Structure formats: C-alpha cells, structure tokens
Structure 1
Amino acid sequence: MGGRTSLGLLVVLLAVVGWAVSLWLPEEAPANRRTPPVVTEQPAPSPPEPVDVRKARDHLAGLATVARRPEGMAAYERSVFGGSWTDSDGNGCNQRDDVLVRDAVEVRTGQQGRCDHDVLAGTWVDPYTGRRLVFTDLKEPRQAQAIQIDHVVPLSEAWRSGASRWPEDRRRAFANDLDNLLAVDGPTNMSKSDDDPAGWRPRKGFQCAYATRWIETKARWSLAVDDSERRALGEMLGYC
C-alpha cells in the first residue's frame, strides 16, 4: 500500500514539474511571423569623417546672407523638386538604393530591373544618433519607413535660401545630389524635419561633419544662410 502511495505521489510531482517547466519555456514563434527591425540603443563606434575645417570656415564666410522670409514658404511645395528618386548617374538604380549601399555597414541586395543592387536588408549606423540599425526586410513598408534618406540641407530650406529662383531641372538635380543625402533613422529624421542648424543639431560627435556637409552643400549650390544659421554652423565647427 505504501508503495502505491509513493508511486502516486511521484506521478503527481512529475506532472507539477512538467507544468511549471512549460510556463518557463518561451513560446515558439510562428513560422510566418515577420522579424521586426532591431534597433540597438548603444552608440556604435564609427571613425569621424575627415574634414577640412579651414576650407569649411572659408566657405561659410563666403556664403551670402539672407533674412528669413516666412511668407516665401507659402509658395513652396515638395513637387517643385520633382517626384520620386531618379537614377542620376545612369547605373540603373535610383538614389535611395545608391545611398543605402554607400552608407551600409553590411547590406543584402538583389536584382530589380536594371538595378543590380536593389537593397533588401542590411545594417546601418545612424550618423545623427550613433545608433545601430538592423533591418531584415526593406520591402516591408514598416521597415522601409524606419530607415529614411535625409536631405542634410532640406528641400524647403534650399527653397527659401535661393532655390525658389532656380529652373525645374536644377531643383530636381539638387533633390538627388548624393553628397547632400544620408541614410538615417526614420524617427530622428522626422524630428529634424526642415530645421536648419539653429533649430536642430545631431549628436555632438557628428556636429563637425554635419556642419561641414551643410556648408559645402550650400557653397556648391550657391545657397545663402541667415544670421542664426551662420552662428550655429560656426559653433558646430568648434567641435572639429
């Protein structure tokens, strides 16, 4: 009788242990569940971009000064800079794919029409925050939106500092200028919006490179700066 009682207790104990283990073990993910983009919050190490500070300061001093004219923004529409990304260099791929490949830490590409580096997935470091961005499927809208191509000098900023007087083909060329484009974190890009350096700055470690790129873009396209923008750019060059 005692043996049967012990055997019964053992069965009950094993059942309880099995139930507890089942609660502890993680649930297996369904095979068809999409893997979400992974964002590592720790800044990823990246070497600073080489800059010619003296050249940047000379170009900044040579930029024309313009007063802010908010009323001029009433005439601005994104369409004046053209529609979707173009293939400016004739390599078969549009500027978005070119920038994604150029700025990637690692990237997975495929063939799409004439483009032999249509970007499917990859890893990037957002220069504005230093965060490492890993995306598994850039054909999925949610992930594509999470990594964006930013105009360092925004289109509306270009419009109010000289581009409103340009012909359409010059504005389209500016919108697709690779040297004014960066692959960045989507939410950070949205927070930057169309602010100039007086209204928005990236992390301190990137401010020198950011100011230099901003100044060189404005100098290359003969765009003007206002007083607060000029002061902010000078401050950021102090981090070089």
Structure 2
Amino acid sequence: MAIPLVVGIDGSEASLEAMDWAADEAVRYSVPLHLVHAAAGDREPSDVISAASERARGRAPRAQRSSEVLHEDAAAALVDKGRNAFALVLGSRGLGDLAEMLLGAVSLAVAARADCPVVVVRGAAEHRDGQFGNVGVEEGEGSGTALQFALREAQVRSCRLTAVHAWNPSPRALTTRPAPSWYAMEAHRRPPSQVLDGALRGLAERYRDARVSSRVIEGPARRARPWGLAEQPVTLST
C-alpha cells in the first residue's frame, strides 16, 4: 500500500487551502490522502475534520481518503505522522495567537523536525502551480533530499527549476565561534559552481525531463533571492 500524503487540518482557511493543494497532489501522484486534526485538550471529536473530508471529496472524488482526530500537540502529532508519509502539507497560518506571522508556529516546528518533505502552502491560489521554482543547495549531504524533492516536482509539473547556492567568500566565516564545520571549511576549498554541479550530477539521469538551471549567489543564504524569479507561494522543506 502506498504511503499517504498527510495534511494538517485546524479549521483555518489556510489549512483548507493547504488541503486543496494536497488533494491535487494526491491525484497527481496517485497516493492516498490522509487528513489529521490534532489539538491538545480537545475532549470531543471535532467537526473540523468532517468538513475538511467533505471538501476533499469534492476536490478529488477518486482519491483514496482517510482521516483522524488526535488529542495531542499538533506539531508533535504531525511530526510523528511524517515518519511514514509521502509528504506533510500545512497551511502557513493557523488559528492560534501567532496567526498573523508569515509562517505559523506549528508549520515552523514541523518543517524543522519532520523526517519527510514538508510543503507549507501560502499565497493566492492562482500562483500555487506556477512555472518557476527555486531550491537551495548547500555543501554536503544536507540538501540532497530537498533537491530530489524539488526536481521531482519540477518534472511532474513541467516547470523550470533554479538550483541556488549561496556562499560567503570571507575568511571570517572560518574563524567564528563555535568552530566551523568540515563542510564550511571544505566550501572554501571548492569553487561554488562545483558544489552545484556535484549536487545535480547524481540526479540528472533520474530527472532527465526536468528543466534545471543553476545560480551562485555571494552572501548569506537567508538573503539570497535569485534574479528574475518571483517569490514562490509554496515553501519546500525537508
């Protein structure tokens, strides 16, 4: 049996929009869709999951669907479900006190801890299946899963993907405390273009139909914004 695509539901409009995206994704990959509503302190089964399930049925009537209500911390529950999931899909903002943040507390916690790819859906619906995508590539093995996920999505969606490597040429990066990692030191021994080429080379055969370009940006990764590409409404993380 195929492992499910799991979507977190809390009753917010953002989570329902994430469910719409997840339903389309489940159909695209022919995987089951599993809806999870988790909240510590809920004493009675919530109708939140029922309404979301009905919406999923209307969105993807042929998709295999299941759902459950868990009376536990939402982030912990979703991370646990992610240990056997095709991916986790979440809305960018929930119903809690941090609802006005760009990325909600649960989404941020799950993205940081999950073992599977995490998709945080945000932005206007008409932009969620655009023709461009970006993926960050770092030195070492840490970005391999993210790159593979991005290539898979680019290939199945027939969109253009830019692999971006941001690097800091300053020697000060090697003298900061705590001591720099082996990967940080090795990055200053290899040309940045080699980092990208090495990461892409092993996946090129598997995703030969993906349209991929690469770009090296000098400076901190958190400030990198590839030239010519609009901000993407779907955040990919692994």
- Max Rg structure: 1
Query: What TM bracket, shorter-length normalisation?
Result: under 0.3
Q: Which has the higher contact order (CA 8 A, sep 6+)?
A: 1
Q: Structure 1 or 2: larger helix share?
A: 1
